[in-house]
Structure 1
């Protein structure tokens, strides 16, 4: 007995240590998990260094996932990383974003203060009322979380027990896995592999995420006999026979080994099966302790102290004695102002052991004391209180809707609808009619991405104008244009008031815009606009203005399109998606007409709106940032463009990411940055998509031309043209690049076909009814004509002058490239002085842009032409300079002075990341590996003069 007492004392000392966060294991180290921990630490360290990552830790219940992640958390804190830890609960989709709310509540004060500055996150903090929904709530919440992670980085965000995650939390995990790229963010999720059955909702999410390059999968298998023996001996004294039996029975599971050890330590025999083992630990408690533990099991994994005392029904002193005994035995552990089961398996075992009536009464007791609609719905339903469940479900749906959790809102509404016929007075309990609740359910289904479910639900409802209008909208979203038109016409015909008519008319005009009936759009959009203004429905008014503006723009009346877009974006409607859409279209039409300053101003306004609302990554929030990048690029603001491009993901896994990544190639190819090859390799699987292929392959063609591979460039051009609709504006640039490649190859084969494609696009357009072609389109068409003459060996000076003039609406880079060809044509016709003047202007621009390929091509042309001038002598690369550009030579001199990248950036007024890229290029060109070696090589080769 003395030996047993000693074992028990040592055992419980270890249990207290575990609860306080001290590692249980040999000399305070993990046992048998060093390889898995090393993989997680690599993901964490990579995030600290600026490459975000996600780790998914899977394993059976009790295998040690939480213990492993706890060690990672400890190492993160030692590295100065902010830590957020949230836990999912076994309540299904009852509580949306539970682990995020849990993580924010338990975060450091600095993180909580930062979260409070983001209104959507602040709603998840205790004591904060949820604000009314203003549209795109989930996207705003996700954007706000990204903003918070950027504010407090580096961050480790741990989400435990993903197998219990609600739909919105799963969506959040997918969003973070795709969107965090260069942030100092590490996301770690744990899940039980033994719970992930074939139809489990997490299964498809895991399959999707594990394909992403940013995601690391860590699977925990059973510990080997040696490792498990070592682990058991850290728990306390045990003889060889008992150790062998524990190891044999535990089957490599540390938690199971702990429970077996506890049974041995308490002098009990070892029961069969895990459930029997766990309950054997519970059954030694006195009656009061068992009563408290059963109540805690009904609450779930965690329960507040006061709530547990009320439901247990025990006097205060008796309750506290019972809890003290439970905690001392390691069954519950203190967690803030409440208690948590030491392991989910223990909670499940106690809950399963409850008698049916006992379970119902305890759920009802919790329902009487709780105020959260989602928890009430859970307990009412489990307690067979159908009326309470219906009322709570309807309210929980409305709350989830306001919190930006449309999937959970839809689930709650559907649950209320499923109870409707089984409860008297359902409408009064729900607070609205069955039709209204079903309409809410359909809308939230669509908001969560399930348009097909929304369509099915809407078709089952009486076809009021409001129902038909939403049905038309969702049918249009799934490309069922004929069905959308029919539904929209029904919405117009059945409208009972002016507001409903205005929205129906706006949606109707949208469905007609690109249909064979597009000639009806102007009259119908005008009627929609007049009706919306009379009814005061701002969202419908702006929607009608956008459709009407798009129509008249396509018809060639650009001046009127400007006026209409100006009206559409003049004020806020309260519908964030509509407001952002208006600003994007307004900025786009300015950009396409070459009005870059105005386009930039409008785009900036839209971007600020998106950032303030947490919609940076929404459809139009993203489109506005794309457009702003292009404006920087065209206007010659290449340092700003490069800074924006650096945030575009390189390691892409989806089409949207590939499109985003492709934009960065404009600046990276123009400057010949090292990221080009890597970015192209990641985007290559998406080349079958028209937009991704047009941008990335088109720029891959230019990259090939700059690097002396015109045949490869021509192959890219032909593949891109095969995906474009005849007459598409994209044909103009692509064909011009193809003709450049043919000129380099010295062949005319295929040149006439390329020029014919260009002329068809100019005359007919993609629909056969060409409207007004913008200045950039005109310039590319002229460039293609001039390149066609170059292919045939003709240097058309006046045509190249027209190209220069056409691009001079503000496209700085293309003006310089056109001047290069104009200089060649002038030189070929004997006008040397004019050729050198154009060459010098082009070279000046290339230097300012740090457009290395163009700058090198101009220098080569200048050497062949024997152009003189101080600029070349002072800045241009000489023999032996290893092909350094003027800017790289400047950076090299500062490196030799011993300046850091930050100091170089400050000296040259460039971004620190840009300075780093230049240094990397210099090391590669000088064939050295350190800055010291670069300085020595520069002095040896006379490059610092």
Structure 2
């Protein structure tokens, strides 16, 4: 390796910046592309050296042309070559440990790929700072590509830098890496580096680092190499050995091979069939040479720089050399060498590759079926599906296929479909299942996938076939449990209780714990929605009493157990169960699985509601702001609860990332609802109203989320001083309450009921009535433990009490609200309370003028103005125009105009000058 990196200083500097940012806790990803031989590996080697100097753990893995056959090859490669401390840490994560040599893959307990991804994320966090390099992504298997996408999205605040290299000249139009690169390059965390040819001057400098060469030779190399460093190296080596220089890189490479002895060429050809790397003993067996002759041949090859010693074997100095030698093989020679490797290898995936290349179809079918099962165990469903499909494709071309595969064709096709679904291709799974004989097992899985694909009618029909065709009791129990689940949110939901109860009884009799728990959870949700909370709690308690062996089911049980307690206001119990589920998810590598993520959402909400805002903010810090998909946008939206309520500067940045995902109803509901509150706290009710109406436009009548949106909309109308649309918001809320969660009058939990009461109180406020009884009901409803909302309701109750002349009671509620806001560090609410207290002349406020006011209801001297209107009035008194006020307060000019109109009306004046005079008279200019 040359000591000097020539012509790549700008590219290296860019990569070092990503590395340095990772060292500071801002994770990053870099993608390095370029033609073969252009210097990608040389650049990455320099980056790795820099990383080690900075104290990074460096993991380097390489994909190979066998990538589709060997799932997670670069990850396994990186772990095998890691420092002992990193390997030891990896071994502590079972899903990673089984990628290390000498470790048997454990039986699958579900969600293997998600567990593997989560385990790797956990390892990177354990051993950070980390530089993780994946070379030759153009050969990556599907699971490795999925892993790269996962890391690119999930590493945000970790001290992790991920770098991938790929050949641009290998990316044909339909290459699977193309879409992945296009997706990743849109992410803000990803830097793309494209290496072009070296300029002639840079190439001259580079050749000079290789050794002495005269001016004529230098000119020849520079002109022939066309800016490609590897080509230049080969030209230099051929010239140094006195060889002629044939046209083209492939011819040049083979001219250097042809000068080897016959034994050397024989060994190199065998190595080319093995791939980029090969173990010493395996190569010696396939080459078929006596030991002394083999070792002499290898020594010759290594001395000429064609192979490098790598561990206990050898690797081609460059992939182009391996490809040139392999391409030069005669067809029969290639087949015989593949067959020789197949006789000696034990890895099913490698066996399948060599059997196919050696035209041994029976061997390929048997090896493919076993390779699929092995890929299934290590969490590579895409590769498992590929192997099973290859075996199915060979089925009719061999004799005794069922014996070779170890199972029937239907069983193998069923496995293939399940693996397609597990890899995210539900459509492929449905297509494969539909052409199989519709046994109960096939129909049950088909129903499950159709339900998840949002085809409820198809799911119900398939589930009914599964029940009708069930043979044994365990199969019947699973079919009935799935049938009950498909009916839960359908117009036939009244059938759920009887069906789930039958499934439960059948599962218990058959000892089918997975079906039993599934039926329990569906039944618990059903009875909860109908208000039978005691029974719902009993069912989820029983579901958690012992493990099922299915991790997804066990996490689902914990999530629903915690959720039911949360929604009934039992926060302490909900927190305990959620913590248990989060621990289970972390220990099994499922932190980022569906229920692992849902449990962390729920734990955040419990912290938030209970007023444990420092803990909530710590959890929210893991909800990345830089999002690229709808699920990530929904996750990120949760952080807005705390960021908006505390008035944190991160709000605007997060909203800018979430804006492109507002077409999704749930992402819009989450983020735009909180964006509306953010706008209200910043005195821009017009924008808040726009957000609320946009969210409601994407919701159906009767949606329970409409209640909260209606309350925020009414708050905005009150600030704008208009009643237009108030009745519409109230009606939407009442429809949602009547419909309940199921749309037919189901039970609404304490929080939903409290928001409904707030809607009624806000509706009266919009119409100018500060209703003490209404706001007292809101306070009492939220006081089940919802600290923040109870404080916000006390603020409005204090206003209503003051307007009613109950000054002492108003101050008591105001003090309670101020105390809660202060403990929460809810700055926007705290500021609003201070402003209200100043205007009400309560003790403990600053900035009061001491002047007795005469205007406004209840005798407080603000003329009945809101806090924002007082703020606008002060700027009017300074002589500012509407545009200048808008710029000063960071609100829309239209909003300022509305505020000014309201001020003139409330003060019963007709000009801005008269309004300023009134402000002085009321003592509002302090």
What's the TM-score once normalised by structure 1's chain length?
0.89
Pick from 310, 317, 321 the counterpart of residue 335 of structure 1: 310
1:878 CA drift (Å): 13
1:765 CA drift (Å): 3.5
Q: 2:108, 2:712 → 1: CA distance? A: 49
Pick from 830, 838, 842 the counterpart of residue 813 of structure 2: 838
Q: The residue matched to 2:144 in structure 1 has which SS?
A: helix
| Residue of structure 2 equivalent to 1:162 | 137
Q: 1:820, 1:298 → 2: CA distance? A: 77
| Residue of structure 2 equivalent to 1:581 | 556
1:388 and 2:402 matched: no
Q: The residue matched to 2:132 in structure 1 has which SS?
A: strand
1:262 and 2:219 matched: no
Contact 2:138/2:177 (CA < 8 Å) preserved in 1? yes
Pick from 641, 647, 666 the counterpart of residue 666 of structure 1: 641
Q: State the Cα RMSD in Å.
A: 1.5
| Residue of structure 2 equivalent to 1:493 | 468
Q: The residue matched to 1:843 in structure 2 has which SS?
A: helix
Pick from 83, 86, 95 the counterpart of residue 111 of structure 1: 86
1:37 CA drift (Å): 0.9
Contact 2:822/2:830 (CA < 8 Å) preserved in 1? yes
Residue correspondence of structure 1 range 112-511 to structure 2 within 5 A? 112-511=87-486
| Residue of structure 1 equivalent to 2:746 | 771
1:820 CA drift (Å): 0.9
| Residue of structure 2 equivalent to 1:699 | 674
| Residue of structure 1 equivalent to 2:492 | 517
| Residue of structure 2 equivalent to 1:794 | 769
- Encode CA deviations 1:16-48: one digit per residue, 9 max, x unaligned: xx1xxxxx2xxx331111111111111111111
| Residue of structure 2 equivalent to 1:631 | 606
Residue correspondence of structure 1 range 428-827 to structure 2 within 5 A? 428-765=403-740, 768-827=743-802
1:566 CA drift (Å): 2.1
Q: The residue matched to 1:189 in structure 2 has which SS?
A: strand
Contact 1:122/1:128 (CA < 8 Å) preserved in 2? yes
Q: 1:748, 1:185 → 2: CA distance? A: 53
| Higher alpha-carbon deviation: 647-656 or 543-552 | 543-552
Contact 1:739/1:788 (CA < 8 Å) preserved in 2? yes
Q: 2:598, 2:848 → 1: CA distance? A: 40
- Encode CA deviations 1:214-239: one digit per residue, 9 max, x unaligned: 11111111111111111111111112
Q: 2:454, 2:699 → 1: CA distance? A: 20
Contact 1:590/1:596 (CA < 8 Å) preserved in 2? yes
Contact 2:839/2:848 (CA < 8 Å) preserved in 1? no
1:877 CA drift (Å): 12
Q: 2:12, 2:531 → 1: CA distance? A: 63
Q: The residue matched to 1:84 in structure 2 has which SS?
A: strand
- Encode CA deviations 1:102-145: one digit per residue, 9 max, x unaligned: 00000001100100000000000000010001110000000000
1:425 CA drift (Å): 2.0
Q: 1:510, 1:643 → 2: CA distance? A: 35
Which segments of structure 1 move beyond 6 Å, counting only runs of 4 or more?
A: 876-879
Pick from 831, 835, 839 the counterpart of residue 860 of structure 1: 835
- Encode CA deviations 1:554-591: one digit per residue, 9 max, x unaligned: 23323322222222222211111111112111211111
Residue correspondence of structure 1 range 21-100 to structure 2 within 5 A? 24=2, 28-100=3-75
Q: Which runs of no fewer than 5 residues in structure 1 stay unpaired?
A: 1-17, 19-23, 880-924, 926-945
Change (3 A) 1:877 1:825: closer
Contact 2:4/2:209 (CA < 8 Å) preserved in 1? no
Contact 2:489/2:742 (CA < 8 Å) preserved in 1? no
Q: 1:529, 1:643 → 2: CA distance? A: 40
Change (3 A) 1:857 1:687: same
Q: 1:767, 1:150 → 2: CA distance? A: 42
Q: The residue matched to 2:424 in structure 1 has which SS?
A: coil
Q: 2:545, 2:700 → 1: CA distance? A: 35
Q: 2:431, 2:334 → 1: CA distance? A: 37
Contact 1:727/1:767 (CA < 8 Å) preserved in 2? no
| Residue of structure 2 equivalent to 1:893 | none
Q: The residue matched to 2:70 in structure 1 has which SS?
A: coil
Q: The residue matched to 1:159 in structure 2 has which SS?
A: strand
The number of residue pairs the alignment matches comes to 851
Q: 2:707, 2:455 → 1: CA distance? A: 31
Contact 2:267/2:287 (CA < 8 Å) preserved in 1? yes
- Encode CA deviations 1:822-860: one digit per residue, 9 max, x unaligned: 111111111111111111111111111111111111111
Q: 2:718, 2:131 → 1: CA distance? A: 54
Q: 1:640, 1:878 → 2: CA distance? A: 39
| Higher alpha-carbon deviation: 561-570 or 346-355 | 561-570
- Encode CA deviations 1:714-747: one digit per residue, 9 max, x unaligned: 1111111111221111111111111111111111
Contact 1:558/1:772 (CA < 8 Å) preserved in 2? no
Contact 1:726/1:765 (CA < 8 Å) preserved in 2? no
Q: 2:848, 2:520 → 1: CA distance? A: 55
Contact 2:529/2:741 (CA < 8 Å) preserved in 1? no
Contact 1:499/1:537 (CA < 8 Å) preserved in 2? yes
| Residue of structure 2 equivalent to 1:101 | 76
Q: 1:462, 1:838 → 2: CA distance? A: 69
- Encode CA deviations 1:144-168: one digit per residue, 9 max, x unaligned: 0000001000100000000110111
Contact 1:603/1:627 (CA < 8 Å) preserved in 2? yes
| Residue of structure 1 equivalent to 2:871 | none
Contact 1:213/1:653 (CA < 8 Å) preserved in 2? no
- Encode CA deviations 1:576-617: one digit per residue, 9 max, x unaligned: 111111211121111111111111111111111111110000
1:327 CA drift (Å): 0.8
Q: 1:766, 1:641 → 2: CA distance? A: 26
Q: 1:510, 1:102 → 2: CA distance? A: 43
| Residue of structure 1 equivalent to 2:874 | none
